[in-house]
Amino acid sequence: MRYNKLSILFVILILLFTIQLNAEGNKNNKTSRLSKTNGSPSRTHFNINNISTWIYNDGNSDIAPNQNSGLVFPKGSNKTAIFQSGFVWGANVNGEKRVGGSTYQQGLMPGRILPSGKREIAQPGDGVRIYRVRPDWIDGDLSSEVNDGEGSEDEVRAQYEKDWNEWPAEQGAPYEDVNNNGIYDAGVDIPGFPGASQTIWFVANDLDTAQCRSLYGSDPMGIEMQATIWGYNSSSALGNTMFRKYVIINKSDAVFDSMYVSMWSDPDVGDAGDDFSGCDVEKSLMYTYNGKAKDATYGLTPPAVGFDFFQGPIVPATASDTAIFNNKKIGGYKNLPMSAHYFFINGDPIFSDPDLNEYVTGTLQFHNLFRGRISTTGSPFADPVTEQPTKFTLSGDPITGQGWVDGIMHPPGDRRQGMVAGPFTMAPGDTQEVVVGELAAGTFGNVDRLAAVQLLKFYDLEAQATYDNFFKVPATPVAPDVKVTEIDKEIILNWDDLSNSTVTKDIEEYNALGYKFQGYVVYQYPSKFAQKEDAKIVATYDLDDGIGKVIGPQFDVASATVLNKVLKFGSDSGIKRYITIKKDLFNGGAKFNNGTPYYFAVTSYAVHKDLTTVPSVLESESIIHEVFPQTFKPGESTKANVGDYINVKHIEGNSDAVVKVKVISPKDLTGDEYRVDIETYEIYTNTDTGVDTSLGFGWSVFNITKNTKVTPLQKNLTGIENSYIIVDGLQIIVPNAAAGIKGDGDAMVEVAYEGTPLISDKYDESGLPYNGNKVWHSLNSNKDYYVSAGGGSGGMGRLTRYVDYASPRDFELRFTSEGGFGVYPFDDNHIAKVPFELWDIGINTIDDPSDDKRMIPFIVWNDTSSSKTEWNYNTGKDPYFKYPASDWIYWMDPAPGTNGYADFAAQCEASGGAGAIYQGNNYFVDFYGGFVYPWGRMIICDFAEDGTPPPAGTTIRIITNKPLTVDDKYVFTAPAFDYNSNNAASDVEKINVFPNPYYGINPNEINKYQRFVTFNHLPQKAKLRIFNLGGHLVKTINKNDETQFAKWDLKNETNLPAASGIYVVYIDMPELGKTKILKVAIIQETQILDRF
């Protein structure tokens, strides 16, 4: 008897389980689908954004092949929000009411209606199959398709390639006409809806009488339906939207009178039995949301789902009206909005589904619904709040509770709903278009069931704006290709390694329809399939361009309204392409635990030039990376740490550029020797007269050890460390030497005084490297003068305003007994006698006078009351140290060349010499197209305050920074990341298990059905045998992978939970010739069986 009772109980449990699994499939009035030949493939996924759902080439959609709910939201969650959807139409045809399309049954067959009037039959060549394309099918991320069970990545890519190459544009499938010639050119034009991230297309017809009658008992109407399904891989509202475009063509000889179209859906938001529905008449939107605060599937954050008529059928209108048709505006027509909304409830006498495969209770009842009337009686719906007739059921606002909202008349339950547009007429050969948006919103943060409705309407506004702009949607920015390095309690994310630098370059050149690349955002996610709204921002790296924070309209969860909020937390930080992360933001900023999974993503974002645009920000998808901080594997070691700088030697050339090499990823270090080479490239500049060509300088890295060039030409010479590429775990920072005086002014030195060259005893500490005594804001060797700048605060910037015209040349100011001429051009052009000469002494040719050029002094009075006959030495005041100072000296480049000063002096003599007014407009100066000079506002300051300028024979030399040239070469040796088998053998002592003891729970467990402990620091190959204290073998784990981890699921060899107790783990590592024994304490929680 005990055996019989248990057997009966087992059978009952199996039956209950079967009923539970098929609950969704047992929809009221739903019949089995007819067997039919649909071509291959006959179905595919839409899964380019947060929605993953099924589309079939007979008009069916949102239902899984196993007849369960098919629309998964969010993608990857395995939670479904819609059971099934379809497009329906009806009209009077030769006096008879007919209905076609798709609901629980499909009245369509795949294929066109041929010119002969017969339907296209599926052939072995797949001519009537469903097609799906992606513009990035060659190298795009296909993980969504693989995760949806479509096959291997190679198989998915092969199908994309086939559909791309065989795209049926001649049948009506949309494409981007790249060459604007009005015809589809394979290999030139782009298959798919222009700008879309994924497009699905199929064609179907209603000519099969049996199939058509299986819907609602009607005969065929002679309609060909072309369906385009598309969407965008976007982080905006478009990432939660799927667009449907239905083109219906009357290929019969009859007129379709009083025709209507309807978008029908059976939404099941998680649990099918607790939903509410509604409609927003103004937005032509219908929607469904959870009727209870908590859903059995989604918990406290159930989503809302809905459909919007973005483009209804066109009908004649006034001359001032316009309609959208075939992606163009046409005059004299208008698009019909939603004209009615209906809903169904199981078993309700009024709100009941029309019967499938029945004409009177099917077709005729649906015609009542088309007209906004009760299906069973044809009477108007009565609004229970206003007690007035209405065509729009459930049109109230569930947020405020105003109007007819679901729940007034019926408790939460299993809803179906539809929205209608009509009536209109279709003559033979006429074509109509209907565009429907399918949206989902919520499931994150604190977005409850009602906030999800408000969020859905917010998404709908953006999707509508996209439609109003004729779907001129800029391509979604590309997500960075992130390389992950896992080290001890740290992780490194890098998206500018050699392996991904091309992707990064493309990202940062993004410029589409007013949007330009602005920066990167690093997120931490709580789980692998969480939504971005649940993530936390780790860092934002944006361009240093003044934009900073981007503020715009955003849905606010707390108030369930749209508010102006910070959309992107930019700070003009400058672009950085890697990050080292040490803290867990979901654990109060605590340090990472080794072996624990964490989840991170890096996105790129673009900002519109008009920040009032909605949306003002476009962001790439978030590709979530699961990472495990960990110590080095057995035998691995390196002497370098993240952030260390490596010694670099400048072995050739004279540049003052300092190359730095920084460790970013220790695990990628090679121990090789490298060389940085300087290269040139041509720069082309458009001018009024043509194209000018000049040379630019860049650099590359050569691996000396491997005799291989490891980088292409790099043009980055900014010196901004974070902006440089990463090579073999090292960031190579190659800045050009900044124009200016070496040593920030230290290289302005006195090299001779009163005719005697200075010897080292006369050098000060700052001037020593430059063989002189520093005089910039520092006393000369005799301590009677120094050099400063006039005006302002007397800082270096006053002197070096146009320093790019000075570097890389060197200069000397020579006090001589002969002196020379200068001119006061800014006042009255007086000519002055000056006791010095200004010289350009070439580039690194101090001892070679052959390239010296004498320069022309322009003088400005430091004290306007002083003499205008000669240069005044101490009549002004130094703004820096407040000592008496000379008139300002501007160093002007002569023109032409070496003869310029001689011509200038001759003109001074001809004008009457010192004290006279300079005659003529030519100063024999090169002004470089404006008023530009190498050095300006220089003053000589009288520290001795005796009014005596530096004596003749005193020379001040200015040595400038030298930029990179092809003669410069730098070398460095990378630290090694080593593996040593002897160390690996000794490292077995580090093998451990976590948690130990196991006390009912592991913090890394997702749920109570996935119990485990983790062994770490294991070599690639190991056998773990787990014994109880009685010596009985409980479990054997064979490890052979690249990780250092192995998990025990706390089950025995028969897959039953292991008993609580102490276990001995014998670990055999044959390749190392080592063994290790561990003890593990397991305390299991009480087992309560809730799965059968």
Q: What residues contact residue 109 under an 8 Å CB cut-off, 6+ apart?
A: 36, 38, 58, 119, 204, 205, 206, 207, 208, 211
Confidence of residue 78 (pLDDT cuts 50, 70, 90): very high
CB 679 within 8 A of CB 698: yes
Higher model confidence: residue 499 or residue 936?
936
CB 320 within 8 A of CB 308: no
Whole-number Å distance between alpha carbons of 600 and 484: 10
Whole-number Å distance between alpha carbons of 386 and 404: 8
Locate all alpha helices (DSSP H) within 47-184, ordered by sequence.
143-147, 153-165
Buried b or exposed e, range 372-394, using 16+ CB within 10 angstroms: bbbbeeeeebebeeeeeebbbbb
pTM summary value: 0.69
CB 279 within 8 A of CB 394: yes
- pLDDT confidence of residue 21: 36
What's the chain's Rg over C-alpha atoms? Answer: 40
- pLDDT confidence of residue 864: 67
pLDDT in tens, 834-847: 999 999 999 999 99
Q: Is the pLDDT of residue 1024 over 60?
A: yes
Backbone angles phi, psi at 161, to 5 degrees: -65, -45
- pLDDT confidence of residue 1088: 54
Unique residue bearing structure tokens 């673009």: 606
CA 21 to chain centre: 39
For the chain, domains (ranges, CATH) are 43-468 (no CATH), 483-627 (no CATH), 641-737+967-977 (no CATH), 768-954 (no CATH), 979-1083 (2.60.40.3080)
Q: What residues contact residue 718 under an 8 Å CB cut-off, 6+ apart?
A: 735
CB 904 within 8 A of CB 841: no
Q: 13: helix, coil or strand? A: helix
Confidence of residue 865 (pLDDT cuts 50, 70, 90): low
Average pLDDT of the chain? 91
Strands 726-727 and 730-733, bridge-based pairing: antiparallel
Whole-number Å distance between alpha carbons of 539 and 605: 13
Whole-number Å distance between alpha carbons of 906 and 399: 90
pLDDT in tens, 641-650: 999 999 999 9
Which of 719, 730, 579, 723 minimizes the C-alpha distance to 662? 730
Tell whether omega for the bond before 411 is within 30 degrees of 0, i.e. cis: no
- pLDDT confidence of residue 125: 52
pLDDT in tens, 343-373: 999 778 888 899 999 999 999 999 999 999 9
Least confident of 22-36, 630-644, 895-909: 22-36
Tokens of 730: 């090292």
Confidence of residue 1003 (pLDDT cuts 50, 70, 90): confident
Q: Is the pLDDT of residue 560 over 90?
A: no
Q: 235: helix, coil or strand? A: coil
- What type of residue is 110? P
- Which whole number is the average pLDDT over 860-866? 77
CB 953 within 8 A of CB 655: no
- Say which DSSP state 394 is in: T
CB 953 within 8 A of CB 754: yes
Whole-number Å distance between alpha carbons of 565 and 51: 26
- With left for phi above 0 and alpha for psi between -120 and 50, is residue 752 left, alpha or beta? beta
Whole-number Å distance between alpha carbons of 306 and 304: 7
Whole-number Å distance between alpha carbons of 75 and 1091: 25
Q: Is the pLDDT of residue 26 over 50?
A: no
pLDDT in tens, 273-320: 999 999 999 999 999 999 999 999 999 999 999 999 999 999 999 999
- pLDDT confidence of residue 28: 47
pLDDT in tens, 502-552: 888 899 999 998 999 999 999 999 998 888 888 999 999 999 999 999 998
- pLDDT confidence of residue 892: 98
Tokens of 406: 């679901």
Whole-number Å distance between alpha carbons of 826 and 807: 26
Distances in Å between the alpha carbon of 168 and those of 108, 165, 191, 527, 1035? 20, 9, 9, 41, 57
- pLDDT confidence of residue 827: 81
- pLDDT confidence of residue 11: 37
Q: Which of 263-272, 678-687, 987-996 has the highest mean pLDDT?
A: 263-272
Cβ count within 10 A of residue 225:
23
Confidence of residue 4 (pLDDT cuts 50, 70, 90): very low
Q: What residues contact residue 842 under an 8 Å CB cut-off, 6+ apart?
A: 809, 810, 848, 851, 852
Buried b or exposed e, range 669-706, using 16+ CB within 10 angstroms: bbebebbbbbeeeeeeeeeeeeeeeeeebbbbbbbeee
CB 79 within 8 A of CB 296: no
Tokens of 475: 């391509």
- pLDDT confidence of residue 742: 97
Tokens of 736: 């050009």
- pLDDT confidence of residue 25: 40
Confidence of residue 417 (pLDDT cuts 50, 70, 90): very high
- Which whole number is the average pLDDT over 942-965? 97
pLDDT in tens, 762-773: 999 999 999 999
Q: How far apart are the first and last CA of the chain?
A: 22
Whole-number Å distance between alpha carbons of 421 and 435: 11
Q: Tell whether the torsion through CA atoms of 1058, 1060, 1061 and 1065 is positive or negative.
A: positive
CA 864 to chain centre: 61
